[in-house]
Amino acid sequence: MSNEAKIALLQLRIREANRDKWIAYVLGCASLLPIALLYQSYDVPYEMVFLIGLPFFIGGIGTGQYYRYQKHRLMKKLERMTKGYTECPKCRKEIPSGDYKYCPLCSASLES
Ligand SMILES: [Zn+2]
């Protein structure tokens, strides 16, 4: 795959991670709505509502945080690629991209 194609793919994945992050946040918060209605309409005890709602809320926010981290990671990768350097996954040294399949410093594989 050419470097341009890799960069385009990364940009696409960053956009997707950003979109999924917001979907997860919105769904996490939206899950509180039917639960709040349940609380209003039927005399469900407060603790019960809390127990049902909390996992959905935490799940949504947690998933959002996961995608936020993914986006951050992808952006770092994109930054390195556009600078023309890749970071060795093992020794963390910067290596000119394209020229090496193995890290010249520690001989770790650079292909991902
Ligand atoms: Zn290395």
Q: Where are the domains of the chain?
A: 3-83
99 with 86: CB under 8 angstroms?
no
Return d(Cα 9, Cα 57) in angstroms, integer: 31
Neighbours of ion ligand 1 (CB under 5 A): 88, 90-91, 103, 105-106, 108
pLDDT digits (tens, 9 = 90+) for 63-99: 999 999 999 999 988 887 777 667 788 898 877 766 6
Q: Is 87 exposed, middle or buried (0-12, 13-18, 19+ CB in 10 A)?
A: middle
What is the distance in A from the centroid of ligand 1 to the CA of 71?
Answer: 24
Distance between Cα 77 and ligand 1 center (Å): 16
* C-alpha of residue 78 to centroid of ligand 1, in Å: 19
Predicted TM-score (pTM) of this structure: 0.62
Phi, psi dihedral angles at 38 (to 5 degrees): -60, -40
Tell me the average pLDDT of the chain.
84
Nearest to 93 by CA among 80, 111, 79: 80
Strand partners, 102: 109
